[in-house]
Amino acid sequence: MAPGEAFVLVNSHDPRPLRREFEAIHAGAFSCDYLQAGPEEWRVRIGRVADDA
């Protein structure tokens, strides 16, 4: 994913473990914003942080 791009993950459960993995492997490179938090569906916008260069 290019800097500034994002996608919306739709899941049947809270994708918190995926968020932790992104943070552990790519610290500071991605944003994660909950658009909907259950109880039956979670929507999370995951974006690549734009370069400040």
Q: What is the DSSP string of 18-29?
A: HHHHHHHHSTTT
**Residue that wins the pLDDT comparison between 50 and 42:** 42
**For residue 53, pLDDT beyond 80:** no
- 35 or 26: which carries more pLDDT confidence? 35
1 located within any domain = no
Residue 53 belongs to a domain: no
Q: How many domains does the chain have?
A: 1
Confidence at 52, pLDDT banded by 50, 70, 90: low
In a domain, 22, yes or no: yes
Which pLDDT tens digit goes with each residue over 10-34? 999 999 998 899 899 988 899 999 9
Q: Which domain holds residue 37?
A: 6-48
Report the chain's mean pLDDT, rounded to a whole number: 91
3-state secondary structure of 16: helix
Please give the sequence-ordered ranges of beta strands (E in DSSP) within 1-53, or none if there are none.
6-11, 30-37, 42-48
> Could you tell me the pTM of the whole model?
0.81
